[in-house]
Amino acid sequence: MSADTDKEVTNNEPDPLLEELKKAIGSGQINFLFGAGVNGRCFKNMADFNKTIEKVKEMDGKGNNLEEKISSLNEEQRESALDVFIEEFNDYYKNGIQKDNISFINLSNLLKTVSHVIDLVESRQHASKKINIFTLNYDRIVEEALEDNGLFYHSTSPYRNSGSSITDVIGYDVSKRTFIPTFSILKIHGSVDPNHMLNKKHIILPVKQTKIQDALSMEFFNGLFEMKTELTEPNAILFVIGYSGSDSHVNSIIKESVDMGLLVYWFAYSDMPDVPGIDFAFIHTIQPNDGKSEKEKIDCTLSLNNMLKKVLKL
């Protein structure tokens, strides 16, 4: 299934995509899967790590993307490539997130709108006040956007798992005596540490594990199990933004969850990626930029935000 959100519905006919989305949001469990593309232009993507790319190229790494190429190397080469990547990542990240960038602003606005939507739906029980965010990114861009807007959240990653399930914490406003929208972030591939530095012992490559990551493997797969548990809940909805389909484990979970009734809205910035194992005939693919030039394309976070705002007015 596909849709173009820039096209207007004629003759005052209701937009079936928005009508379905309104119904789903009213009772469904909301989930997000964020890939590197969600950061847009406020933090560079893997394709922009030039030193790492050159290093991997020298060692003849094979694969469709940088992570796959690093994983294809032998252990000694992989360690060397990761050292370069970590240094390059930290050197760039120490300058901070570009919060005045339109991509950060669009993401921030989307999170505010989602929180507002959840708050407005009075029929929701306290457990459905939770919004899950599964992210493959190491940075804290999502966390900072939530903090800047005063939105309640908690975050876990493979190396910093508190032992609590992502389903265990729901915020409560004591003065209003009501549960509040709560964002539960699960950083599937790892995360920067509290000092905003990335350590290669705290990241998980999506294709092939290394010896130094063995201690993380159980937490990694526990995280994937939690993701599947959430996505197979009755009336679960998943919004996919900025994900290229490079993690076979994640792809498998999406496929199995769709087979069990998961409703998926997959936002594409350009052409839909060729994702092994996923049948897009059973997924809403949103391509809001059809017919627009590269300079005119807008962030997928903005596209979804516009859709949700339309839903609120239905």
**Domain residue limits at 81:** 45-96
Of the three residues 96, 114, 135, the one that is the final residue of a domain is 96
Q: Is the pLDDT of residue 29 over 80?
A: yes
Banded pLDDT at 5 (limits 50, 70, 90): very low
Cα of first residue to Cα of last residue in the chain, in angstroms, is: 22
Residues 179 and 283 in one domain: yes
Q: What is the mean pLDDT of residues 105-133?
A: 84
Measured CA to CA in angstroms, residue 279 lies from 153, 238, 252, 255, 284 at distances of: 32, 15, 11, 8, 11
Residues forming beta bridges with residue 94, ordered by sequence position: none
Question: Residue 151: pLDDT above 70?
Answer: yes
pLDDT band at 88, cuts 50/70/90? very high
Write down the pLDDT at residue 211.
Answer: 43
**Pair 77, 127 in one domain:** no
Percent of the chain with pLDDT over 70: 81
Count the domains in the chain. Answer: 2
Question: Does position 295 have pLDDT exceeding 70, yes or no?
Answer: no
Residues 209 and 288 in one domain: yes
CATH number at residue 102: 3.40.50.1220
151 and 194 inside one domain: yes
- Residue 28: the pLDDT is 81
Selection from 275, 279, 230 nearest residue 248 by Cα: 275
Statement to judge: residues 157 and 255 lie in one domain: yes
**8-17, 77-86, 123-132: which is most confident:** 77-86
Residues 37 and 92 in one domain: no
Residues 92 and 154 in one domain: no
pLDDT at 130 over 80: yes
Q: Give me the chain's average pLDDT, please.
A: 82
**pLDDT of residue 103 exceeding 50:** yes
Last residue of a domain, one of 96, 111, 136: 96
Same domain, 259 and 302: yes
- The answer to which of 32-41, 68-77, 169-178 has the lowest mean pLDDT is 169-178
Residue where a domain terminates, one of 80, 96, 112: 96
Question: Do 257 and 298 fall into the same domain?
Answer: yes
**265, 21 Cβ separation under 8 angstroms:** yes
Whether residue 90 is found in the same domain as residue 6: no
Q: Where residue 123 falls among pLDDT bands split at 50, 70, 90?
A: low
pLDDT of residue 185: 94
Span 91-118, mean pLDDT? 91
